C-alpha cells in the first residue's frame, strides 16, 4: 500500500511536473523519489548490521519445567531502528515469544524469555524472524535466522509407589522370577579403568576410541524385568495435548518405566507406533534415556493395535518378567492376547486410559467385568491426578 | 450570515477539538521493559498527539497553498475549513470508530460546513438568492468563479477530513498524504501564474509534515498492533523513531528543493489543449510567470518559457524572417515602459496609415533606407485570442483588408495621427478573422546601411522629441545613474548610431541572459539593479535599460513588444513558427530620414545584434558595411560570431554538471558496497562471490569448479598464500556444501555461513589480486606470441 501510493504520486506528479515545468512540483516529486531511495538504503543498511543470538540451556527438559532462554539483538549499524519485531518460532505449545524493540545505532539489547514446557517432543530453537523497517515503513525487511539446535522434552514423570507392580510382581524371593541364571550380567555403562578392575572388564572398543583404558560397569542388582506395552494405534486416542489420552498414556508409560528402573528392574518398551518401537530390556540411566527419548517423540500413528503385536512378543517374554499394558482400546483383543500368553502366578497389569473422557462431550467407558478375571485393570480418565493413583481402587483419587 | 462563517467555523473547531480531547489518550510513555496494555477487543488503540499535530500542519499547508495561489481573500476561511475538517474527522473517528457509522457522520458534518461555505462565497461574489440557486447558477456557467471558489474551499475541508480520518482511524499515513500531494501538484501546475503567491513555504512544510506523518503513522500502527497482540516491547515512543523520521523528512525536503528541475518548459499544450491559461509576462513579484505577449514592459520576477504555438507566418522581408511588431511602448515610468498617453481613431479595412508624421500614400518613398514588407499570419489554436493587437513586419503601413473596423492607437495631434502604437480590430481579432484563415499586414522595415545611419544626424522632428528624454518626474538619482551607465557604455561615440551600437554591444557582452534574475530590492528600479548589481535578466531588462540609457543621452528611442522571428523548418512551405517562447521586447531608435530602426540588446544566443556581420540576403539593399537591422537567428547563419551570454540557471546547471559525475560515482560505490557487503546466506551466493576472483584471474573456468576448488583457488590468489584466509574459505565451502546437501540451500538463514563476515574485509583485496593475476597471465601468454612474430620477421 505504501509503496503503491508513493509510486502513484511519483508517476502522476512527475508527469505533470515535467510537462508543465513547475519547479515546486518537481520538488514534490524529488521528495517522493528521495524518500524511496533513503528508505531502501536505510532498510538495507540496518538489516545488514543486525545480529541476533540466543542462549538456551542444553540437555533435556521435562514437561512442567520452566525453560529459560536469553536473546540478544545488536544493531551494529550507525542508524537507529525505530521498530523491530522479533518473533521466535520455536514450537513450544503456548509459546508466543514476540518482542518489539527500538534500537539506536550501535546499541544492543538483551532479554530473557521463560516458557513452561507443556508438552513432550523435540522442539527446534527457532527459526527466529526479525521484522524491521526504515523510519517511513516503506521497505520492511524480514530476516530469518535458522534454528539453533533443538531441545528434547521428556514426558512428565509422576511418582507411582509400586502401583503398577502390585499385582504383577512375582516376588523377588521366587526362584522363578528374575533373570535366568545362565544369562550374563548386562553392562550398563563405561567408566575410566581402575587398576583394581580385572582385565576382562576392559571395554576394548572404547579404549581404542578414547586412547586410554576404559572399563565396563555392570548392573549389580537383578530383578524381574518389566515389559511396558503402549498402544499407539492411529485413531485410538482423543483430545488435544496436553489434555489428550495419548499424553496421559505416554506419561503413564514414562512414570512406570522410571519407577521400575529406579527399582533396579530391567525395562523393555514395546509401542505400536508406525516404527514398531521395541526397546530391549535394560537397566540404568542409558536405558531410561533411551525409553524417555522414545516416549518423548511417540506419536499415535501406528497401523495395528497392541492386541496384534502382543502374541508375537509374549512367548519370548513369558519367563522374564511382568507386563504393564497401557491402552485405550475397548475391543478386548489385547485381553485375549494376554490371557493366551499369561503364566500362572503372574498377572499382567493393564492401564486403561479412557479416551472417551477426553471428548468435548465426555463419556465413561464401561469395561467388561470378565477382563478383570484375566488381569488387573486400572482406569484413568481425564482430570485424574496421576500422582495420586490408588492401588486398591485402581482409580486416581481426585 | 456570511460574516459569521469564520466564527462559526472556529467554534466548530473548538468543539471538535474538545471532543477529541475527551476521547484521545496518549500512547504509553517511555518504557524500559514492559508489556503494552492490551486493548479491549473492538477498541481503537490510542492515538498520539504528535500525529494529530502533524495532520493539522499538513492540512494547513495544503490549505495555505490553495489560499496563497487561488483563494485570495478567502484564504483564511480555507485554513479554518481545513482545521475543522481534521478535527471533526478525528473526533468522529474517536467517537464512532465503526466505518459504517463514522464516514457518513463525517460527511454530514461536511454538508453543514458546505452550507456555511456557500454563504461565504455568495457574499464574496455578490450573489443573492437561496443557496441552491447560487450553485445552479454557477453550474450553468454564468459565474464559474463562485463555483470554483466554493469547490476549492470545500476541497480544503475535504483534504482536512481525509487526513484526519486516515491518520486517526486508519493509521494510513501514505494514503493520508496522497490526496494532499495530488492537490498540491494540481494546484501548482494548473493555477494561473499571475495569481501565484509564494507557495514555497507551504509546499516545503507540506512535504516535511507529510513525510513525517507517513513515518509516524507507520510506527503508531506497529505499536498499536503490538498492544493488541500483547507483544512486550522495549524502547521509547515516539522518541527515537520520531526524531529519525522528522530529521530524514527535513533533509529530504531540503535536497528536493535544492535539486534543479528537469524542465522549465511548459509543453502541456501538446497533450492537453485545454490546459493551463497562458497569461502575459511582466509580473512584479517573485512568482514565476510564463513567457508570452505583453502590452507593457515591467521587468519583474522569473519567467518560464512555454513553447505553445501561437501562429505561423510568411514574410517578404529579406531572409524570410522578421520581428513581429505588436505594440510600441514609448512611455517610460519608474523604470517600466508602457504604451503611453495615446488616442485612437477608427480606421476602415485596407486604409493607409500615416507614417512618421507624414500622410502615407502606401509607399515608403518619403523615407530612405526602408522597404515595404508583407506579413501573412495564420494563427494557431487560441493564438488569435492571446495576441489582441495586430502584428506587423515593421512600422504599420495599412490596416488589413479583412473587414474592420479597426482601432488605431497612437500619438495624435488633434485628429491627426503622428505615430502608430497599436492596431486592434474592434471586438477582438477573432471577430474579424475566420478560423484557420490567414491575415496579411504590410509594414515598413529599415534596410539602411550603417554608413547611412551614421550620417543621419540629429535633426529630429517635433513629434519624436518626446521620446528623447526620460520623464522629468523621474527620480533624479536614478536618471543620473542610468545616464552614467549610458555614457560609460557609449565608449566615447558621438553619433547616435554608434552610441546605440556601442550600448547594444556592451549590454550583450557584459550582462547575462537569465530567465531567473535575482529579485530586485524594494524601492529600486529593476533596470538600475540589473545594470549595477545583478547583471542578469531577460529581454525586458536589456531592452528597458538600453531604451532608458539612449533617452538619457537625448536619442529618441522606444520599446517594441511583439515576437521574435521564430523558428523555421518546423512547418512546410517556408513558414516560420511562433510560440509563446518567442515573445520578445526590443529597442527601436529613430534616425532622421531613415525612421525607426531595430536594435537587439538581448544576448539570448538566438538573435543577431544590429551591426553584426550578416551575409547579405536576396532583396536586401546592398550595403557598404554591416547590416544594421537585427532579427536574423544566429543559428544557421554563416559567419555568425554571436556568443550567447546565457546565464539561465547558471548556478544550478554548473552545479549539476559538477555534481553529476560524483553522484554517479557515489551511486556506483554504494551499489558495489551493498553488493559486496551483503550477507552470504546460501551456497549459491557463496559460489558467486568465489567465482568472481577466479574469473578475473583467468586461471580456469570457474563454473567447472566445485566450491572447495573455488575456495582453494581463491586461497592461492591471496597474497603470500594467506593460510588463514584459505582455511576460512575452505571452512565456508564445507559449510555451504553441507547446507546444499542437507536440502537447506535456500532460506537456510545466515547462521550457516556466518563466517563470510570474517572474509568480507579481505574480499576486495582478493578481487584486486585476481585482476592482477589475470593481467599477468594475459601478458605472459602474449609474450611467446610476440617472440614468434619477431622470429618470423
pLDDT tens across B424-478, in order? 888 777 777 776 678 888 888 888 888 888 888 888 888 888 888 888 777 777 8
CA count, 13 A, side-chain hemisphere, B326: 25
Ranges assigned E (strand) in chain A? 50-55, 60-62, 66-75, 81-88, 97-103, 107-116, 121-124, 128-132, 141-145, 150-154, 187-192, 214-218, 225-230, 239-240, 243-244, 267-271, 278-282, 321-327, 349-353, 376-380
Q: Which range, B9-13, B160-164, B396-400, has the best average confidence (pLDDT)?
A: B160-164
Residue B284, domain member (yes or no) = no
Residues of B in Cβ contact (< 8 Å) with A80: 240-241, 243-244
Q: What is the mean pLDDT of residues A290-302?
A: 93
**Paired strand residues for B103:** none
Strand-strand pairing, B557-563 and B324-329: antiparallel
Q: Provide the b/e sequence for B426-440 (b: ≥16 CB within 10 Å).
A: eeebeebbeeeebbe
Residues of A in Cβ contact (< 8 Å) with B263: 18, 21
Ranges assigned E (strand) in B614-754? none
Residue B279, domain member (yes or no) = no
CA–CA gap between residue A239 and residue A246 (Å, rounded): 8
Residue B364, domain member (yes or no) = yes
Are A331 and A156 a contacting pair, CB within 8 Å?
no
Q: Kindly give, in sequence order, each residue whose CB lies less than 8 Å from that of residue B617, ignoring residues fewer than 6 positions away.
A: B318, B319
B421 and B518 inside one domain? yes
CA–CA gap between residue B130 and residue A60 (Å, rounded): 85
CA–CA gap between residue B441 and residue B446 (Å, rounded): 16
Count the Cβ atoms, other than its own, within 10 Å of residue B28.
Answer: 15
Res. B231 pLDDT band, cuts 50 70 90 = confident
Per the prediction, chain B carries an average pLDDT of 74
* Cβ contact B234–A99 (<8 Å): yes
In the three-class reduction of DSSP (H, G, I as helix; E, B as strand; rest coil), residue B562 is classed as: strand
Using a 10 angstrom Cβ sphere, with 0-12 exposed, 13-18 middle and 19 or more buried, the burial of residue A385 is exposed
B306 and B212 inside one domain? no
B112 and B213 inside one domain? yes
Q: Which three cell numbers stand for residue B319?
A: 531572409
B449 and B549 inside one domain? yes
Q: Kindly give, in sequence order, each residue whose CB lies less than 8 Å from that of residue B651, ignoring residues fewer than 6 positions away.
A: none
Note the pLDDT of residue B731: 83
Count the Cβ atoms, other than its own, within 10 Å of residue B116.
Answer: 23
Are B146 and B188 a contacting pair, CB within 8 Å?
no
| Lookup result for grid cell 531592452 | B543
* Cβ contact A26–B259 (<8 Å): yes
Provide the residue range defining the domain that includes B716.
680-789
* From A117-126, B28-37, B696-705, the region with the lowest mean pLDDT: B28-37
* Cβ contact B261–A41 (<8 Å): no
pLDDT tens for each residue of A304-343: 888 888 888 887 776 677 889 999 999 888 998 888 877 6
Does residue B549 carry a pLDDT above 50?
yes
Note the pLDDT of residue B124: 63
Nearest-by-CA chain A residue for B267: A19
More confident residue, A132 or B652: A132
Using the Cβ of A132 and the Cβ atoms of chain B, whether some distance falls under 8 Å is answered with no
Residues of A in Cβ contact (< 8 Å) with B265: 21
CA–CA gap between residue B603 and residue A334 (Å, rounded): 111
Residue B662, domain member (yes or no) = no
B208 and B327 inside one domain? no
* Cβ contact B747–A144 (<8 Å): yes
Using the Cβ of A19 and the Cβ atoms of chain B, whether some distance falls under 8 Å is answered with yes
Res. B356 pLDDT band, cuts 50 70 90 = low
ipTM for this model: 0.71
Q: What is the mean pLDDT of residues B106-112?
A: 87
* Cβ contact B256–A109 (<8 Å): no
Are B588 and B558 a contacting pair, CB within 8 Å?
yes
Using the Cβ of A99 and the Cβ atoms of chain B, whether some distance falls under 8 Å is answered with yes
Q: Which three cell numbers stand for residue B779?
A: 601478458
Note the pLDDT of residue A363: 85
* Cβ contact B233–A27 (<8 Å): no
Question: A390's torsion region: left (phi>0), alpha (psi -120 to 50) or beta?
Answer: beta
| Residue to test with chain B: of A17, A27, A96, A101, most B Cβ within 10 A | A27
| Residue to test with chain A: of B210, B240, B304, most A Cβ within 10 A | B240
Res. B419 pLDDT band, cuts 50 70 90 = confident
Nearest-by-CA chain B residue for A39: B248
Q: What is the mean pLDDT of residues B225-244?
A: 73
B40 and B150 inside one domain? yes
Res. B69 pLDDT band, cuts 50 70 90 = low
Three-state SS letters, B149-216: HHHHHHHHHHHHHHHHHHHHHHCCHHHHHHHHHHHHHHHHHHCCHHHCCCCHHHHHHHHHHHHHHHHH
Closest Cα to residue A35, out of A142, A141, A137, A140?
A137
* From A128-142, A251-265, B257-271, B540-554, the region with the lowest mean pLDDT: B257-271
Note the pLDDT of residue B304: 73
| Lookup result for grid cell 536619442 | B555
pLDDT tens for each residue of A205-246: 889 988 889 888 765 444 568 889 999 999 999 988 888 999
Residue B408, domain member (yes or no) = yes
Residue B530, domain member (yes or no) = yes
Nearest-by-CA chain A residue for B257: A27
B247 and B298 inside one domain? no
Are B505 and B608 a contacting pair, CB within 8 Å?
no
DSSP tag of B297? B
Does residue B378 carry a pLDDT above 60?
yes
Residue B412, domain member (yes or no) = yes
Note the pLDDT of residue B550: 92
Count the Cβ atoms, other than its own, within 10 Å of residue B772.
Answer: 14
Using the Cβ of A105 and the Cβ atoms of chain B, whether some distance falls under 8 Å is answered with no
Three-state SS letters, B315-345: ECCHHHCCCEEEEEECEEECCEEECCCCEEE
Are B211 and A35 a contacting pair, CB within 8 Å?
yes
Q: Which three cell numbers stand for residue B509?
A: 557582452
Count the Cβ atoms, other than its own, within 10 Å of residue B550.
Answer: 28
Portion of chain A with pLDDT greater than 90, in percent? 23
Three-state SS letters, B513-527: ECCCCCCCCCCCCHH
Are B264 and B515 a contacting pair, CB within 8 Å?
yes
B252 and B348 inside one domain? no
Note the pLDDT of residue B587: 92
CA–CA gap between residue B793 and residue B787 (Å, rounded): 10
B343 and B197 inside one domain? no
Does residue B177 carry a pLDDT above 60?
yes
What is the enclosing helix (H) or strand (E) of B739?
helix B723-741
* Cβ contact A24–B199 (<8 Å): yes
Q: Which three cell numbers stand for residue B108?
A: 454530514
Smallest CA–CA separation between A361 and chain B, in Å? 29
CA–CA gap between residue B337 and residue B295 (Å, rounded): 9
Residue B657, domain member (yes or no) = no
Note the pLDDT of residue A177: 41
Q: Kindly give, in sequence order, each residue whose CB lies less than 8 Å from that of residue B249, ignoring residues fewer than 6 positions away.
A: A35, B207, B208, B209, B210, B211, B212, B215
DSSP per residue, B257-286: HHSPPS---B-HHHH-TT-PPP--S--SSS
Smallest CA–CA separation between B172 and chain A, in Å? 8
Q: Which three cell numbers stand for residue A290?
A: 533411551
CA–CA gap between residue B739 and residue A146 (Å, rounded): 11
Q: Kindly give, in sequence order, each residue whose CB lies less than 8 Å from that of residue B123, ignoring residues fewer than 6 positions away.
A: B1, B2, B3
Q: What is the mean pLDDT of residues B217-222?
A: 84
Using the Cβ of A95 and the Cβ atoms of chain B, whether some distance falls under 8 Å is answered with no
Res. B615 pLDDT band, cuts 50 70 90 = very low
Are B559 and B585 a contacting pair, CB within 8 Å?
yes
Using a 10 angstrom Cβ sphere, with 0-12 exposed, 13-18 middle and 19 or more buried, the burial of residue B679 is middle
DSSP tag of B245? H
Q: To 10 degrees, the CA torsion angle through A167, A169, A175, A181?
A: 140
What's the domain count of chain B? 3
pLDDT tens for each residue of B47-63: 567 888 889 999 988 88
* Cβ contact B232–A133 (<8 Å): no
Residues of A in Cβ contact (< 8 Å) with B736: none
Residues of A in Cβ contact (< 8 Å) with B248: 35, 38, 42, 135-136
CA–CA gap between residue B279 and residue B268 (Å, rounded): 15
Using the Cβ of A143 and the Cβ atoms of chain B, whether some distance falls under 8 Å is answered with yes
Portion of chain A with pLDDT greater than 70, in percent? 87
- Distances A7 to A69, B175, B747 between C-alpha atoms, Å: 43, 12, 29
Q: Kindly give, in sequence order, each residue whose CB lies less than 8 Å from that of residue B559, ignoring residues fewer than 6 positions away.
A: B297, B328, B329, B330, B337, B543, B544, B547, B585, B586, B587, B588
Note the pLDDT of residue B636: 32
Q: What is the mean pLDDT of residues B519-546?
A: 86
Note the pLDDT of residue B25: 52
In the three-class reduction of DSSP (H, G, I as helix; E, B as strand; rest coil), residue A173 is classed as: coil
Which of B207, B233, B257 is where one domain is finished?
A: B257
* Cβ contact B271–A34 (<8 Å): no
Backbone angles phi, psi at B196, to 5 degrees: -70, 135
pLDDT tens for each residue of B635-693: 333 333 333 444 433 344 445 555 666 677 777 777 777 776 677 778 888 888 888 88
Are B183 and B138 a contacting pair, CB within 8 Å?
no
Does residue A249 carry a pLDDT above 90?
yes
pLDDT tens for each residue of B296-322: 888 877 777 777 778 888 888 887 888
B542 and B414 inside one domain? yes
- Distances B382 to B278, B307, B387, B647 between C-alpha atoms, Å: 10, 14, 9, 32
Which of B208, B236, B257 is where one domain is finished?
A: B257
B635 and B703 inside one domain? no
CA–CA gap between residue A142 and residue A127 (Å, rounded): 12
Note the pLDDT of residue A298: 93
CA–CA gap between residue A199 and residue A202 (Å, rounded): 6
DSSP tag of A357? G
Are B444 and B370 a contacting pair, CB within 8 Å?
yes
What domains can be seen in chain A, in order of their start residue? 2-37 (no CATH), 52-154 (2.60.40.10), 163-185+223-388 (3.40.50.410), 187-221 (no CATH)
Res. A296 pLDDT band, cuts 50 70 90 = very high
CA–CA gap between residue B121 and residue B114 (Å, rounded): 10
CA–CA gap between residue B628 and residue B613 (Å, rounded): 9
Q: Which three cell numbers stand for residue A260?
A: 521400575
B514 and B571 inside one domain? yes
* Cβ contact B749–A145 (<8 Å): yes
Three-state SS letters, B622-649: CCCCCCCCCCCECCCCCCCCCCCCECCC
Amino acid at each position: 500500500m505504501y509503496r503503491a501510493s508513493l509510486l502513484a504520486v511519483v508517476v502522476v506528479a512527475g508527469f505533470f511536473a515535467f510537462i508543465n515545468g513547475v519547479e515546486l512540483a518537481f520538488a514534490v516529486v524529488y521528495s517522493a523519489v528521495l524518500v524511496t531511495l533513503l528508505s531502501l538504503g536505510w532498510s538495507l543498511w540496518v538489516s545488514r548490521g543486525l545480529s541476533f543470538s540466543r542462549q538456551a540451556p542444553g540437555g533435556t527438559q521435562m514437561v512442567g519445567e520452566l525453560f529459560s532462554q536469553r536473546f540478544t539483538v545488536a544493531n551494529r549499524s550507525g542508524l537507529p531502528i525505530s521498530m523491530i519485531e522479533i518473533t521466535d518460532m520455536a514450537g513450544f505449545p503456548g509459546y508466543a515469544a514476540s518482542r518489539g524493540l527500538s534500537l539506536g545505532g550501535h546499541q544492543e539489547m538483551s532479554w530473557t524469555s521463560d516458557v513452561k514446557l507443556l508438552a513432550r517432543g523435540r522442539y527446534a530453537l527457532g527459526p527466529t524472524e526479525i521484522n524491521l523497517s526504515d523510519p517511513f515503513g516503506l521497505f520492511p525487511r524480514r530476516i530469518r535466522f535458522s534454528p539453533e539446535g533443538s531441545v528434547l522434552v521428556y514426558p512428565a514423570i509422576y511418582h507411582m509407589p509400586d502401583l503398577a507392580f502390585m499385582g504383577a510382581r512375582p516376588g523377588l524371593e521366587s526362584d522363578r522370577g528374575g533373570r535366568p541364571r545362565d544369562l550374563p550380567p548386562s553392562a550398563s555403562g563405561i567408566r575410566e579403568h581402575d587398576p583394581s578392575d580385572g582385565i576382562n572388564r576392559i571395554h576394548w572398543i572404547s579404549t581404542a576410541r578414547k586412547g586410554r583404558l576404559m572399563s565396563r560397569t555392570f548392573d549389580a542388582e537383578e530383578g524381574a524385568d518389566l515389559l511396558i506395552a503402549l498402544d499407539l494405534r492411529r485413531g485410538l486416542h482423543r483430545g488435544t495435548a496436553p489434555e489428550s489420552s495419548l499424553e496421559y498414556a505416554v506419561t503413564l508409560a514414562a512414570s512406570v518405566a522410571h519407577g521400575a528402573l529406579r527399582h533396579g528392574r530391567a525395562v523393555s518398551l514395546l509401542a505400536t507406533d508406525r516404527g514398531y518401537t521395541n526397546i530391549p530390556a535394560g537397566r540404568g540411566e542409558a536405558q531410561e534415556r533411551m525409553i524417555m527419548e522414545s516416549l518423548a517423540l511417540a506419536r499415535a500413528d501406528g497401523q495395528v493395535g497392541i492386541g496384534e503385536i502382543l502374541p508375537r512378543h509374549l512367548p519370548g517374554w513369558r519367563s522374564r518378567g511382568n507386563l504393564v499394558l497401557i491402552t485405550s482400546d475397548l475391543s478386548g483383543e489385547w485381553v485375549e492376547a494376554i490371557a493366551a500368553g499369561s503364566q500362572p502366578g503372574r498377572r499382567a497389569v493393564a492401564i486403561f486410559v479412557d479416551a472417551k473422557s477426553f471428548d468435548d462431550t465426555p463419556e465413561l467407558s464401561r469395561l467388561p467385568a470378565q477382563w478383570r478375571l484375566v488381569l488387573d485393570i486400572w482406569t484413568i480418565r481425564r482430570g485424574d491426578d496421576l500422582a495420586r493413583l490408588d492401588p486398591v481402587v485402581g482409580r486416581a483419587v481426585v | 450570515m456570511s460574516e459569521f462563517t469564520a466564527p462559526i467555523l472556529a467554534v466548530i473547531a473548538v468543539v471538535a477539538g474538545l471532543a477529541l480531547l475527551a476521547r484521545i489518550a496518549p500512547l504509553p510513555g517511555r518504557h524500559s521493559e514492559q508489556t503494552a496494555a492490551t486493548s479491549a477487543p473492538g477498541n481503537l488503540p490510542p492515538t498520539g498527539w504528535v500525529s494529530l499535530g502533524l495532520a493539522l500542519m499538513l492540512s494547513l499547508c495544503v490549505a495555505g497553498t490553495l489560499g496563497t495561489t487561488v483563494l485570495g481573500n478567502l484564504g483564511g476561511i480555507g485554513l479554518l475549513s481545513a482545521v475543522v475538517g481534521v478535527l471533526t474527522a478525528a473526533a468522529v473517528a474517536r467517537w464512532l470508530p465503526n466505518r459504517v457509522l463514522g464516514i457518513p457522520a463525517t460527511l454530514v458534518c461536511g454538508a453543514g460546513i458546505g452550507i456555511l461555505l456557500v454563504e461565504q462565497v455568495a457574499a464574496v461574489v455578490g450573489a443573492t438568492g437561496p443557496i441552491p440557486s447560487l450553485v445552479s447558477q454557477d453550474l450553468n456557467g454564468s459565474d464559474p468563479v463562485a463555483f470554483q471558489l466554493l469547490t476549492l474551499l470545500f476541497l480544503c475541508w475535504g483534504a482536512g477530513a481525509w487526513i484526519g480520518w486516515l491518520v486517526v482511524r486508519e493509521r494510513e499515513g501514505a494514503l493520508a498524504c496522497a490526496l494532499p500531494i495530488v492537490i498540491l501538484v494540481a494546484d501548482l501546475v494548473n493555477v494561473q501564474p499571475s495569481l501565484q503567491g509564494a507557495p514555497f513555504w507551504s509546499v516545503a512544510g507540506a512535504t516535511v509534515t507529510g513525510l513525517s506523518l507517513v513515518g509516524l503513522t507507520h510506527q503508531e500502527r506497529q505499536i498499536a498492533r503490538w498492544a493488541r497482540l500483547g507483544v512486550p516491547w522495549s524502547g521509547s515512543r515516539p522518541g527515537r523513531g520520531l526524531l529519525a523520521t522528522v530529521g530524514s523528512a527535513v533533509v529530504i525536503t531540503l535536497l528536493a528543493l535544492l535539486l534543479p528541475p528537469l524542465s522549465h518548459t511548459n509543453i502541456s499544450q501538446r497533450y492537453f489543449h485545454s490546459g493551463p491559461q497562458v497569461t502575459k509576462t511582466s509580473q512584479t513579484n517573485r512568482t514565476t510567470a510564463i513567457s508570452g505577449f505583453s502590452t507593457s514592459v515591467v521587468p519583474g520576477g522569473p519567467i518560464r518559457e512555454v513553447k505553445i504555438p501561437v501562429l505561423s507566418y510568411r514574410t517578404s522581408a529579406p531572409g524570410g524572417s522578421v520581428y513581429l511588431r505588436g505594440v510600441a511602448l514609448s512611455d517610460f515610468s519608474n523604470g517600466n515602459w508602457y504604451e503611453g498617453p495615446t488616442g485612437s481613431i477608427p480606421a476602415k479595412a485596407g486604409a493607409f496609415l500615416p507614417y512618421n508624421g507624414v500622410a502615407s500614400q502606401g509607399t515608403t518613398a518619403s523615407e530612405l533606407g526602408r522597404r515595404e514588407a508583407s506579413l501573412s499570419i495564420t494563427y494557431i489554436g487560441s493564438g488569435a485570442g492571446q495576441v489582441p493587437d495586430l502584428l506587423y513586419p515593421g512600422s504599420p503601413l495599412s490596416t488589413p483588408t479583412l473587414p474592420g473596423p479597426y482601432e488605431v492607437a497612437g500619438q495624435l495631434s488633434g485628429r491627426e495621427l503622428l505615430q502608430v502604437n497599436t492596431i486592434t480590430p474592434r471586438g477582438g481579432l477573432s471577430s474579424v478573422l475566420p478560423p484557420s484563415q490567414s491575415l496579411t499586414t504590410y509594414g515598413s522595415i529599415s534596410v539602411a546601411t550603417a554608413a547611412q545611419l551614421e550620417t543621419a544626424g540629429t535633426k529630429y522632428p517635433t513629434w519624436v522629441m518626446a521620446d528623447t528624454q526620460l520623464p522629468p518626474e523621474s527620480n533624479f538619482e536614478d536618471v543620473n545613474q542610468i545616464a552614467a551607465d549610458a555614457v560609460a557604455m557609449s565608449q566615447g561615440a558621438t553619433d547616435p548610431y554608434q552610441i546605440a551600437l556601442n550600448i547594444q554591444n556592451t549590454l550583450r557582452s557584459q550582462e547575462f541572459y537569465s530567465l531567473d534574475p535575482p529579485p530586485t530590492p524594494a524601492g529600486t528600479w529593476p533596470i538600475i539593479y540589473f545594470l549595477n548589481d545583478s547583471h542578469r535578466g531577460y529581454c525586458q531588462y536589456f531592452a528597458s535599460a538600453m531604451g532608458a540609457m539612449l533617452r538619457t543621452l537625448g536619442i529618441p528611442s522606444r520599446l517594441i513588444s511583439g515576437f521574435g522571428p521564430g523558428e523555421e523548418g518546423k512547418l512546410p512551405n517556408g513558414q516560420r513558427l511562433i510560440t509563446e517562447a518567442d515573445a520578445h521586447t526590443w529597442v527601436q531608435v529613430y534616425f532622421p530620414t531613415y525612421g525607426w530602426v531595430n536594435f537587439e540588446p538581448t544576448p539570448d544566443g538566438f538573435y543577431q545584434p544590429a551591426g553584426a556581420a550578416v551575409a547579405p540576403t536576396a532583396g536586401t539593399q546592398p550595403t557598404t558595411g554591416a547590416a544594421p537591422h537585427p532579427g536574423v537567428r544566429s543559428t544557421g547563419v554563416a559567419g555568425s560570431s554571436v556568443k550567447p551570454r546565457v546565464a539561465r540557471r547558471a548556478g544550478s546547471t554548473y552545479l549539476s554538471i559538477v555534481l553529476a559525475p560524483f553522484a554517479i560515482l557515489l551511486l556506483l560505490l554504494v551499489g558495489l558496497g551493498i553488493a559486496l557487503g551483503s550477507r552470504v546466506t546460501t551456497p549459491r551466493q557463496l559460489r558467486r562471490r568465489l567465482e568472481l576472483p577466479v574469473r578475473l584471474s583467468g586461471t580456469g573456468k570457474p563454473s567447472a569448479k566445485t566450491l572447495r576448488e573455488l575456495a582453494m583457488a581463491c586461497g592461492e590468489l591471496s597474497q603470500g598464500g594467506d593460510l588463514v584466509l584459505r582455511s576460512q574459505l575452505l571452512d565456508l565451502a564445507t559449510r555451504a556444501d553441507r547446507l546444499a546437501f542437507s536440502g537447506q540451500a535456500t532460506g537456510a538463514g545466515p547462521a550457516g555461513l556466518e563466517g563470510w563476515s570474517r572474509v568480507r574485509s579481505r574480499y576486495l583485496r582478493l578481487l584486486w589480486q585476481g585482476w592482477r593475476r589475470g593481467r599477468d597471465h594475459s601478458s605472459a601468454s602474449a609474450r611467446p606470441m610476440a617472440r614468434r612474430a619477431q622470429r618470423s620477421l
